[in-house]
Amino acid sequence: EKGGYEHFMLKEIYEQPRSILDSMRGRMIAESGHLMMGGVREYENKFVNADRIIIVACGTSWHAGLVAEYLIEDLARIPVEVEYASEFRYRNPIITEKDIVIAISQSGETADTLAAIELAKSKGATIFGICNVVGSSIARATDAGAYTHAGPEIGVASTKAFTAQVTVLTIIAMIIGSKRGTLETTRVRQLIAELESIPAKVEEALKLNDQIVEISKKFKDATNFLYLGRGYNFPVALEGALKLKEISYIHAEGYPAAEMKHGPIALIDEQMPVVVIATKDSSYEKIVSNVQEVKARKGKVIAIVTEGDTTIPSMADHVIEIPETSEHLMPLLSVIPLQLLSYHIAVMRGCNVDQPRNLAKSVTVE
């Protein structure tokens, strides 16, 4: 059942080239720039004319929502708010009929997300669901939606569901952007071609496994970890920290790298591992200075960089090279080494990675 892997989590991490492909299959044609998604087509005018998009979710799905905020605002130029479902539902939020609410949930059963949907529905908003489980409560409560085709996710820590959600959300952002005219056809074609190359690049990133085992040995006894990223990699920093917390029980925090100087920098000393996601993108120069700030305080830097980079490797203690891609798609690659890092550290600490203490696969209570 685990396909020869020691844990479901590892199997699911390795399934990602396939689950990402399955989540994009039949939804785009690179040559023409054509994009197709049934649920979106049905509500195309709503999407095109929406005043704003509100994304509601919890946990890892909320992190996918944060990636979508960057994607939709950049490619489709519609304001996006990303909300923890649990806060949104109790806040007396302002919701109108011109709003579109996108609910993201792997299980489709998360109580807070479901309640947020019911609230938004009662105010007349259009509800779009992104679920992995077909026929789940959330899928049934929405007006329209698109499934992620990640296949069953059994490990409690979400891995392939996250990359499938980001894949589907990328396609949605491209669809809205093309319909609104904020995204030119040539760029759509390029992005589709790039997205099509992602499964092979994830395959490349998975080959880092042995190197990550070695790094994990060095840091398995750490008591704290910081994860830093900027732009599209900021949600990935949050996701990397969450993965480590939930399965290895090491305290970890994710931060937008520039926020470090507003507080967390006080924590940095020679005991503190800092995972910096520093791929070549529009924030690269800025993150180089963030790495310098960490090194000046003797923090141990584990850097995720783009293949061929020389600047960050000259400063970092450990370097993990991932393939190049458009910054819009980078989370699909940069999250892979972080999943593997948390997995190996948890295994080395003797933790039950597939069923971490106190956690359930679907949180059907608030």
DSSP string of 240-279, one letter each residue? HHHHHHHHH--EEEEEEGGGGGGTGGGG-STT-EEEEE--
Distances (CA, A) of 127 to 38, 142, 221: 15, 5, 45
For the CB of residue 84, give the shortest distance to ligand F6R in the complex, in Å. 10
In angstroms and rounded to an integer, the radius of gyration of the C-alpha atoms of the chain is: 20
CB of 112 to ligand F6R, least distance (A): 8
> Counting contacts by CB under 6 A, is residue 363 touching ligand F6R?
yes
Among 23, 86, 113, 233, which residue sits at the site for ligand F6R (rule: CB under 6 A)?
113
**What residues does 129 pair with on adjacent strands?**
103, 145
Closest residue to bound ligand F6R by CB: 59
Q: For the chain, how many helices (H) and strands (E)?
A: 15, 12
Closer CB to ligand F6R, 121 or 187, in the complex = 121
Cβ-based nearer residue to ligand F6R, 99 or 109:
109
Q: Which of 82, 85, 69 has the alpha carbon at shortest distance from 118? A: 85
Nearer to ligand F6R, 14 or 284 (CB): 14
Q: Does 37 bind ligand F6R (CB under 6 A)?
A: no
Q: Which of 16, 60, 216, 283 binds ligand F6R (CB under 6 A)?
A: 60
Considering beta carbons, is residue 156 or 338 the nearer one to ligand F6R?
Answer: 156
Using the rule CB under 6 A, give the single segment among 151-159, 177-185, 198-206, 279-287 that binds ligand F6R: 151-159
361 is catalytic: yes
58 in contact with ligand F6R (CB under 6 A): yes
**156 or 305, CB closer to ligand F6R?**
156
Which stretch, 100-108, 181-189, 299-307, 318-326, contacts ligand F6R (CB under 6 A)? 100-108
User: To the nearest whole angstrom, how small is the minimum distance from the Cβ of residue 73 to ligand F6R?
Assistant: 22
CB-based contact 349:3 (threshold 8 Å)? no
Please give the size of the binding site for ligand F6R, defined by CB under 6 A: 16
Report long-range pairs for 302-306 (Cβ below 8 Å, ≥24 apart): 302/215, 302/219, 302/273, 302/274, 302/275, 302/276, 302/341, 303/275, 303/276, 303/277, 303/278, 304/275, 304/276, 304/277, 304/278, 304/279, 304/334, 304/337, 304/338, 305/278, 305/279, 305/280, 306/279, 306/280
- Minimal distance in Å, beta carbon 193 to ligand F6R? 29
Which residue is associated with the tokens 């704003």?
52
283 binds ligand F6R (CB under 6 A): no
Choice between 218 and 361, CB closer to ligand F6R: 361
* 16 CB-contact burial (10 Å; exposed 0-12 / middle 13-18 / buried 19+): buried
Site for ligand F6R in 231-250 (CB under 6 A): 242, 246
Residue 64's φ and ψ, nearest 5 degrees, are -65, -35
CA distance 65 to 54: 9
Smallest separation, CB 147 to ligand F6R (Å)? 13
Site residues, ligand F6R (CB under 6 A): 58-61, 105-107, 110, 113, 156-158, 242, 246, 362-363
